[in-house]
Amino acid sequence: MNRFVRTAAAIALGAAGLGAQGCAGALGEKYRGCVDPCWPERYNAVARDEVLDPFRKQVNNGHILNQTIWNWYFEPGTDKLNSAGVEKVDSLTKARPAPDPRVFLQTARDIPVTAENLDKVAATREDLDARRAAVLRRYLASQPPLQPVAYEIYIHDPVVPGIVSDFAGNSFRGQIQGYRGGIGGTGGAVMSTGGGAGFGAPGTPSSTGTGTTGGTGGSTAPR
């Protein structure tokens, strides 16, 4: 009995040693050289990242534009925030769960380029940018210190985002008249039910085919 127990223990230890050698030894290396033990998770992770990467870039760009203090938030050509600018800065400082310390300032594009100031407009804009950034720093420092934030102001020159508002404006102004729309044509023309190639007015028998357009006085063609 003791000999049987010793033999079984030796066999178990030998199998364990072979298994360890297969996972970490030469056999394991050969196995990983032939197949990918992380399939398909590795490839799914790469594919998922490639799909989400453009979306992450769009989110970041949109966030930067939302954090931008545009020229129209100041009195034209000055460093004085108007009422809309005050509301905008206040909204940035009230963001949850915490304000973003990066605040972006559009360079002073509200200073027009003319033949008279062509040589000095760049210096004028740079001076106005510095004064507007200083005003923003002082205003941001005056906010309630519930969550102290060390704001950083970056000056950039982004493309002003926007869409054509004519369609939205027309829809808003016309909503009092109710829904209006159609599929084209005049008089509510419908396709004939008899398989004809043309349109027929509602309730009028089709001139071709074997059926009617569904009118109350229509007749069927002889068979």
Its pTM stands at 0.59
Quick: pLDDT tens for 49-62: 999 999 999 999 99
Backbone phi, psi, residue 68, to 5° = -90, 135
Half-sphere exposure of 208 (CA within 13 A, CB side): 6
The per-residue pLDDT for 38 is 81
- The whole-number average pLDDT for the span 121-125 is 95
Question: Over 90: is that where the pLDDT of 16 sits?
Answer: no
Q: DSSP 3-state helix, strand, coil percentages of the chain (rounded to 5)?
A: 45, 10, 45
Cis peptide before 145 (omega within 30 of 0): no
CA 168/CA 182 separation, integer angstroms: 18
pLDDT tens per residue, range 74-103: 999 999 999 999 999 999 999 988 999 999
Residues 14 and 4: their CA atoms lie apart, in Å, by 15
Is there a contact between 103 and 154 (Cβ–Cβ < 8 Å)?
yes
% residues pLDDT > 70 (the chain): 68
Q: Which of 9 and 104 is assigned the larger pLDDT?
A: 104
How much is the pLDDT for 32? 73
Alpha-carbon span 130 to 70, nearest angstrom: 14
Structure tokens at 48: 């998922």
Helix (H) or strand (E) holding 153: strand 152-156
DSSP 175: G
pLDDT of residue 22: 45
Q: Kindly report, residue by residue over 21-30, the tens digit of the pLDDT.
A: 445 566 767 7
Residues 74 and 131: their CA atoms lie apart, in Å, by: 11
Q: Is 192 exposed, middle or buried (0-12, 13-18, 19+ CB in 10 A)?
A: buried
Only one residue has tokens 């357009």, namely 213
Phi and psi for 191 in degrees, rounded to 5?
-75, 135
Query: Helix (H) and strand (E) counts for the chain?
Result: 6, 5
144-196 pLDDT per residue, tens? 878 789 999 999 999 988 888 888 888 888 888 776 666 765 555 544 444 44
